[in-house]
Structure 1
Amino acid sequence: MSTTAGTAPVAGAPTAGSGVWLHGVVVDADPATLTGIAGMDGRPTRVVRAAGLTAVVSAAPLAEYGEEALRRNLEDLAWLERAARTHHTVVDVLSRSGAVVPARLATVHRDDGRVARVLTERRAELVATLARLTDREEWGVKGYVVPGAVPRGAEASVGGGGAGAAYLRRRRAQLTAREEGQRIAADAAAAAHTALAGYAVAARRHAPQDRRLSGAATAMVLNGAYLVDQAAVAGFSALVGALADRHPELRLELTGPWPPYSFVMEPAGEPAHQVREPA
Structure 2
Amino acid sequence: MPDALYAYAVAPAGSLPDRLQVTGILPGAEVLALEEAGLTALASPVPREAFEAGPGCRTEDADWLAARAAAHHGVVAALPGTVLPLAFGAVFSGEAPLRDWLRQRAPRLSSALAAVSGCTEWSVTLEEDAAQHGAWLRHADPALAQLAGKAEQASPGTAFLLARRLDKALAASRQARLQDTAQALGRLLQAEARHLAPSRPRNAAVAGWSALLAEAAQHRLRTALELEAIMLSGTGLSLTLSGPWPPYAFAREAASDA
Shorter-chain TM-score bucket reads 0.7 to 0.9
Structure 1 counterpart of 2:218, which letter? V
Distance 1:178 1:239 in 2: 28
Q: Is the 8 A contact 2:48 2:93 kept in 1?
A: no
Greater helix share, structure number: 2
Q: Is the 8 A contact 2:37 2:106 kept in 1?
A: yes
Q: Compute the displacement of 1:172 (Å).
A: 5.2
Task: Decide which of 232, 251, 255 is 1:264's aligned counterpart.
Answer: 251
Q: Compute the displacement of 1:247 (Å).
A: 4.8
TM value normalised by structure 2: 0.80
- For the residue of structure 2 that corresponds to 1:256, the secondary structure is strand
- For the residue of structure 1 that corresponds to 2:81, the secondary structure is coil
Q: Compute the displacement of 1:220 (Å).
A: 1.6
2:43 counterpart residue number: 57
Q: Deviations over 1:13-32 (max 9, x none)?
A: xxx64211000111222467
Q: Compute the displacement of 1:235 (Å).
A: 0.8
Structure 1 counterpart of 2:198, which letter? R
Q: Is the 8 A contact 1:155 1:174 kept in 2?
A: no
- For the residue of structure 1 that corresponds to 2:200, the secondary structure is coil
Task: Decide which of 243, 254, 267 is 2:241's aligned counterpart.
Answer: 254
Distance 2:185 2:257 in 1: 25
Q: Compute the displacement of 1:161 (Å).
A: 3.1
Q: Does 1:116 align with 2:102?
A: no
TM value normalised by structure 1: 0.75
Number of aligned positions between the proteins: 243
Structure 2 unmatched ranges of 5 or more:
140-144
Task: Decide which of 162, 173, 197 is 2:166's aligned counterpart.
Answer: 173
Structure 1 counterpart of 2:125, which letter? K
Distance 1:157 1:38 in 2: 65
1:139 counterpart residue number: 122
Change (3 A) 1:186 1:74: farther
Q: Does 1:190 align with 2:177?
A: no
Percent of aligned pairs with the same residue?
25
Q: Compute the displacement of 1:139 (Å).
A: 0.6
What does residue range 20-35 of structure 1 map to in structure 2 within 5 Å? 20-27=5-12, 28-30=15-17, 34-35=20-21
Structure 1 counterpart of 2:240, which letter? E
CA RMSD of aligned residues (A): 2.9
Task: Decide which of 112, 129, 149 is 1:129's aligned counterpart.
Answer: 112
Change (3 A) 1:150 1:42: farther
Task: Decide which of 182, 199, 202 is 1:206's aligned counterpart.
Answer: 199
Change (3 A) 1:76 1:171: farther
Q: Is the 8 A contact 2:121 2:243 kept in 1?
A: yes
